[in-house]
Structure 1
């Protein structure tokens, strides 16, 4: 009986943890993220990061972006895009080019930087990103960071 209970408990625990991690998708392809955000009428959250070297980026992920509070907030409000500038981790050349173009377009010169932008297609079919605001690391955990994010997204 104990074995059955333990096995059942373990299966439920693994299932619950697995689904929690599957809920958020961080896109790396801007075109795909743009199309999803347009279709779902959501704001883009553009996370400029140095994932394998930037201490503040790692801290922002740990304290905010990988928390249940952020997950709950993000799933209905934004389409997540990671624009990574790693130093040690190999990266596809097309992804590097895209990320540097986005960095230049948004004039990002420090990490972490998080931009919120509303996607828009023009009558000619061109893609535009209307910037709503930006933030970075905010002390105080998910509550304080989400307070800043909500103020930015509310201006939409």
Structure 2
């Protein structure tokens, strides 16, 4: 019984951190067109890239970003984990590699692209030591 209660608390706790990251980029593009929103494409090394991990913890998990993303963007994370326990499916890995060939040829991590709904790049940034509010302002500055 204690294990079930602990599992329930852990599950509920993770719901607070959940975001509307799309499962694949084609789905993100389709939703961006239907909702008339821009796309935020993030290249991340979630288990090996220190700036990626910091960006995740300070920006992506912030309530300010979650709220703004829900209202203004369709978000997709092209993740490139290295640890065996974190590896993605073969299909998702291939899809992310294809995106990297198109949008991240230099292999920079983290790399954050603001794109219009058709996939045209409006602006590019990476990790910046900013507050969530200032990072959001930076992302919006590419849309003007």
Tell me the equivalent position of 2:116: 118
Q: Which has the higher contact order (CA 8 A, sep 6+)?
A: 2
TM-score (norm 2): 0.83
CA distance in 2, matches of 1:117, 1:44: 5
CA distance in 2, matches of 1:20, 1:71: 10
CA distance in 1, matches of 2:123, 2:42: 12
Q: 1:40 to 1:56 in 2, by over 3 A?
A: same
Given the alignment of the two structures, is residue 84 of structure 1 paired with residue 79 of structure 2, yes or no?
yes
CA distance in 1, matches of 2:28, 2:52: 21
RMSD: 2.0
SS at match of 1:26: coil
CA shift at 1:18, angstroms?
Answer: 7.0
Tell me the equivalent position of 1:104: 101
Tell me the equivalent position of 1:69: 64
Give 4+ residue runs of structure 1 displaced > 3 Å after superposition: 16-22
CA distance in 1, matches of 2:45, 2:23: 14
CA distance in 2, matches of 1:50, 1:133: 20
Unpaired runs of 5+ residues, structure 2, are 1-9
TM-score (norm 1): 0.77
Q: 1:1-156 alignment to 2 at 5 Å?
A: 20-22=16-18, 24-88=19-83, 89-106=86-103, 107-120=105-118, 129-153=119-143, 155=144
CA shift at 1:72, angstroms?
Answer: 1.5
CA distance in 2, matches of 1:51, 1:19: 19
CA distance in 2, matches of 1:29, 1:79: 11
CA distance in 2, matches of 1:18, 1:103: 29
CA distance in 2, matches of 1:17, 1:97: 31
The count of residues paired between Structure 1 and Structure 2 equals: 132
SS at match of 2:112: strand
**In the alignment, is the contact (CA less than 8 A) between 1:28 and 1:83 conserved in 2?**
no
CA shift at 1:19, angstroms?
Answer: 6.3
